[in-house]
Structure 1
Amino acid sequence: MSNTKAYAAQSETSKLAPFSFDRREPRPDDVSIEIDYCGVCHTDIHFTQNDWGNSVFPVVPGHEIIGRVTAVGSDVTRHKVGDVVGVGCMVDSCRTCSACESGLEQYCLEGMTGTYNGEDRHDHTMTFGGYSDKVVVSERFVVKVPEKLDPAAAAPILCAGITTYSPLRHYGVKAGDKVGIIGMGGLGHMGVKFAKALGAEVTIFTRSESKVSEAKKQGADHVIISTDEKQMEDAAQSFDFMLDTVPVPHDLNPYLNALKFDGTHILVGLLQPIEPPVEAGALVGKRRVLAGSLIGGMPETQEVLDFCAEHDITCDIEMLDIQNINDAYERMKKGDVKYRFVIDMASLKNA
């Protein structure tokens, strides 16, 4: 067992605070990693506040992990000591179902094991995430970070990046397609970069006039203010795809009407019931598709890192000492970050 420094929430009403625990002994297929950086995802807030009602405390969040390999098990072949590697949103799955055999471990028929707040399939302990100084993970769920990528800026690619890349690839976005990106946060700004790299014509839909110049700076070809009825009317039946990154209930119908026939609206942010209801006629009458997508499997997670290195894509980040994590959470709730916080774990190691 290895004593590990971390930050944890002890209850849904408590702040994140220093916490120590013992990481398990490495198994033959495990990679031991010293964590250098960990991205901060809005999901971390949901779990620490038990917003979804399934948190098991204490919660050590963090599933955008970048670090260096310090040891490998006897069966490990993909990684070696000194490699810069990443760990994303999951650390295990059944590995034998049809989804896992297809490299889609996130859709494991038995349920994937989350990087935190998941139950270890072997010893049944709860998993603790990347707000810590080290982690032990099966090599199947560890990816290589290309040398060309800045390690800190690469951390959010393991969640915000793969969450937007996977559906664009799966649904076949290609050069010349017209893609709408709904929302201009951590997910949205990555969606713009990926869609542009795939050759699409990209439009940001935002409620805020203040985000127009920023959207253009991120590479968007056009910006539509979604509260402007005239702009939305003019956008009718214009788009091949909508990538919807908004994490709270919102009216999908105006965006469905902006799709061409055979257009696809992809939800990647919303996990709650759709409110107000979708008008089925908008789907049936134009053979439109309302779809969802969850992160990506391990082969695709490696693919997105390599794609980012090839196309010079990084996440826009703000570095953070872990001692300021609670303030960062409050800023995130207000949308006051462009576009992802990343914790410099040296602040934990040196504390």
Structure 2
Amino acid sequence: MCQSCNDTFQTLTRDGESRRNFLRSGAALAAAPLAASVATQAAAQEAGASLEASEVQAWAAFDTDGSFAPHTIPRRAAGPKDVVVEIMYSSICHSDIHTYKGDWGMPQFPLVPGHEMVGRVVGIGAEVTKFREGDIAGVGTMVDSCGTCANCLADREQNCLNGTTFTYNSEDKISGGVTYGGYSKKIVVKEDFALRIPPGVDLAGFAPLLCAGITTFSPINHWDLQPGQRYGVIGMGGLGHLAVKLAAAKGAEVVVFTTSEDKIADAKAFGAAEAYLWSDEAAMRSQMGSFDLMLSTVPVAYPMQQFLNLLKLDKTLVNVGALFPIEGAHGMMMGFGRQSLAGSMTGGIAETQRVIDFAAHHGVAATYEMITPEQIGEACEKVVNKQARYRYVIDMTQA
């Protein structure tokens, strides 16, 4: 039979259906269970593969000059309580820069920084209950702690008495060696140290909440900032701009003190009621004794008494920025005003989840500029030179 006859001549079934199509559909139905079985097996193999140990593309600093370059790092096999997160966005924190520059002690090179990351869960251990594959998760400043000491039991894993495992440049107590951070394509982490990211938020804008957000939110909680109270934010960079947004969402009367004139308008756009330059002596005098709480986000040491003077009696200035010896706090003046100078850093997992949920509820996210991994070194220098507006977020999907 010629091809044209074969195309036009068809034997019909009793119901008038083309016999050829009927046979084809029957074959398809017969093959369906087999196809489903093959698909299930393929999915299982793929899921299993996502839990295996792997070599992962990362970007590492190789010296204190911040010479970043592609580098391959190992990620451990996922255990029964681990989640595997494919990192989508990772932001640059000033802590990353302090670390590779050796400001807090010489790091172990190659160093893969990054403790503000958001990504998609692509694998879960058999005992994981907090996440499903496809969920969005965040990883912040730490990835492990003992879980049994007094501080861990008080939801302060960052102060673990037996040693917190920080997200990078920390002793890796599971795999050995050191931990590697979020300037990479994937991370494997215990589900207890992964944060749930609500649907519908700006994922890149939420990455900075994993460090900058919780670092500035924790003092609001601990010192119980109330709506209507005057809250001073000193310095408005990556930390400070989130301090403004979060406190304004809390209902506080926020006042910003900055050395950058072009940030005054930004401060008010972020929710500040007032904003002043440090160099404005008349403005500084007008604020004397008027604040219920102040937060210093400046990443270097500076004379602090000028701001302690602005506190009301018995109030507190909390330093979260300068992790160096404090300068210029005068004992007699502090005593006269019975002022407190306190320190704070990051927060526990429960409190970090709280700031994520608070930010989602109030529509708060970081203001950021998206970069590619190849721009990390340049972006770090801009952070040092106070050129960032206000967080650099690395698009790891472009890696």
* Normalised-by-shorter TM-score class: over 0.9
Matches of 2:382 and 2:299 in 1, distance apart? Answer: 16
1:208: Cα distance to partner? 2.8
8 Å CA contact 2:219–2:318 kept in 1: the answer is yes
- Deviation for aligned residue 1:11: 2.5
SS of the counterpart of 1:110?
coil
Question: Paired residue for 1:240, among 292, 308, 312?
Answer: 292
Which of 304, 307, 319 is matched with 2:370 structurally?
319
1:107 CA displacement = 1.1
Q: Deviation per CA, 1:125-161, whole angstroms, max 9, x where unpaired?
A: 2100111110000011001001131111110010111
TM-score (norm 1): 0.96
Distance 1:48 1:170 in 2: 31
Distance 1:19 1:62 in 2: 14
Contact 1:40–1:341 (CA<8 Å) still a contact in 2?
A: yes
Contact 2:320–2:344, Cα closer than 8 Å, also in 1: yes
- 1:161 corresponds to 2:213: yes
**Post-superposition CA distance 1:196-217 (Å, at most 9, x none):** 1111111001123332212111
Cα distance, 1:14 vs. partner?
5.4
Give the AA of the match of 1:174.
Answer: Q
Determine whether 1:335 maps to 2:377.
Answer: no
SS in 1 for 2:272: coil
8 Å Cα contact 2:66/2:377 also seen in 1? no
Q: Does 1:292 align with 2:343?
A: yes
Q: Mark the runs of 5 or more structure 2 residues left unpaired by the alignment.
A: 1-52
Looking at structure 2, the residues matched to 205 and 282 of structure 1 have their Cα atoms a distance apart, in angstroms, of 21
Q: Does 1:51 align with 2:51?
A: no
Q: CA deviation at 1:270?
A: 1.0
Q: Counterparts in 2 of 1:208-247, with a 5 A limit?
A: 208-247=260-299
1:249 is aligned to 2:301: yes
Calculate percent identity across the aligned residue pairs: 46
Give 2:68's aligned amino acid: L
1:86 matched residue in structure 2: 138
Q: Is the 1:60–1:129 Cα contact (8 Å) retained in structure 2?
A: yes
Equivalent residue for 2:199? 147
Mapped to 2, the partners of 1:257 and 1:11 lie a distance apart of 41
SS in 2 for 1:285: helix
Mark the structure with the bigger radius of gyration: 2
Which stretch shifts more, 143-152 or 283-292? 283-292
Shift of 1:111: 2.6
Do 1:249 and 1:274's aligned partners in 2 also have CA atoms closer than 8 Å?
Answer: yes
Partner of 2:19: none
State the match for 1:301 in structure 2. 352
One-letter amino acid matched to 2:75 = R
Aligned position for 2:123? 71
The equivalent of 2:184 in structure 1 is: 132
2:233 to 181, 203, 209: 181
Measure, in 2, the Cα distance between the counterparts of 1:41 and 1:137: 20
Larger relative contact order, structure 1 or 2 (CA cutoff 8 Å, min sep 6)? 1
Q: Structure 2 length normalisation: TM-score?
A: 0.85
8 Å CA contact 1:64, 1:159 repeated in 2: yes
Residues 12/225 of structure 1: CA separation in 2 closer, same or farther (3 Å cut): closer
Residues of 1 paired with 2:371 and 2:296: CA distance? Answer: 28
In the TM superposition, residue 234 of structure 1 has moved relative to its aligned partner by: 1.3
- 1:341 is displaced (CA, Å) by 0.5
CA offset digits 1:272-326 (Å, max 9, x no partner) = 01123x1112322222211111111000111111000100001001001101111
Shift of 1:221: 0.2
Aligned equivalents of 1:317, 1:324: Cα separation in 2: 14
Deviations 1:93-119 (A, max 9, x none): 111111100111111112311101011
CA shift for structure 1 position 54? 3.5
Report how far residue 12 of structure 1 moved: 2.2
**Which of 83, 89, 95 pairs up with 1:37?**
89
> Which letter maps to 2:186?
K
Contact 1:323 1:347 (8 Å CA) reproduced? no
What is the distance in 2 between the residues matched to 1:138 and 1:301?
Answer: 16
SS class of match (2:322): coil
SS in 1 for 2:337: coil
CA distance in 1, matches of 2:374, 2:175: 31
Mapped to 2, the partners of 1:147 and 1:210 lie a distance apart of 34
The structural deviation recorded for 1:344 is 0.5
Question: Deviations 1:1-55 (Å, cap 9, x if unpaired)?
Answer: 2010001112324511010022111122111111111011111112222222141
User: RMSD value over aligned CA atoms?
Assistant: 1.2
Give the C-alpha shift of residue 169 in structure 1. 1.0
The AA in structure 1 aligned to 2:337 is: K
